[in-house]
Amino acid sequence: MGMKHVAPAGVLLATVTFLGAPAQAVPTVPAAPAAHAAPAGSRDPSGREPVGGARLGERGVVFPTGLKAPPTTSAKSYVIADADTGEVLAAKNPHGRYLPASTLKALTALALIPKLDKARKVKPSRNAVNVEGSAVGLVPKPLYTVEDLFKALLLVSGNDAAVALAEANGGLDRTLADMNAEARRLQAFDTVAKTPNGLDKPGQSSSAYDLALIARAGLAHPDFRRYVSLKTDRFPAPKGYYEIGNHNKLLWRYKGMIGVKNGWTSKALASFVGAAKRNGHTVIVTIMRHDGYMWEDIADLLDWGFAARGRAVPVGRLVEPVPEPAPLPTAQAANPAAPGPAAAQKPAARPVEDSGSALPYAAAAALAALLGGAAWLMYGRRRS
């Protein structure tokens, strides 16, 4: 289905093409044929199968038996998933690792939105202002709130906004650590962030599967969802404001489109992560390394996803984030019988009656006073 249906406005080594660069060796598991093995890092913590299910380790197109295959696309990798249930409806080389380009900004936003006060004012550095590639046009003045920068990041793919947000978060190293920690929390093991803006850098990677995990987690956050859904917004300037528009063309063309982020560099080619909602259901589509005009292909894949959801056994699943570790028990929690700090400051409650051969409380107190007086008398005699 095309755009005519959418609303207007011990390891073996297998040689594979990686990140658009010359072929290189990628680790695979000996038990699986090299042509169908997922990268080793994309396996679940047990190491038994690819994250999301065994079929997601295949490199070709994977779809449910009994359904028509998804529309063809020149993208080297894609995932179609039900955002509500986490079911992967179809995929092509879902754990293939490629340069993510600006789709990585979705991870930047997901990692930093909870950490930064959106009302805080930020003065970008000269380094942020002069970053290469797509930019919103920052100047080194405290004109911008954190929220302004997130809008610039996600609407117009501002590389300058990404660096300014990293600076607001304590610097590039800290931000990359936060991004990679967030990827591990999501079990996005194919993803390695080397920049906050997705500009190509050796060692940086993601996968269509990981981008789907990131999109699903982001859409659950109200601010993230609001930012990526904006078609246009006003952006501060030294004299007033100017209008910025979202680079995601499907926000105007595809019925129910939510967002999330598209990207392109000459090495990564075109990439996209996004979602749409129809009849109360949300479908996620991610693609990587598309070498042409991708918007028609994305719309067709979304159409297929809405038609396929609920009709067949899924080919895999978007895994849930790793649970937050439980807090270590305090001494009081570990030993409920032990008195807490408050109890230590209060006198013990008087027992109504002691057990065994102990004297009642009043008698014991009288005896203690008598003995104490005798002792003082004897002490006084020794001193005199």
DSSP lists the bridge partners of residue 38 as none
Which residue type is seen at 370?
A: L
Report the catalytic residues.
102, 105, 157
Sole residue written with tokens 């849930």: 320
- Residue 358 CA: distances (Å) to CA of 348, 351, 362, 363, 365: 17, 11, 11, 10, 12
Q: Return the closest-CA partner of residue 47 out of 72, 10, 87, 21.
A: 10
- Plot region of 20 (φ>0 → left; ψ -120 to 50 → alpha; else → beta): left
Q: Which long-range contacts (CB under 8 A, 24 or more apart) does 143-149 make?
A: 143/236, 143/237, 143/238, 144/236, 145/118, 145/119, 145/120, 145/121, 146/116, 146/117, 146/118, 146/119, 146/120, 146/122, 147/118, 147/119, 148/235, 148/236, 149/122
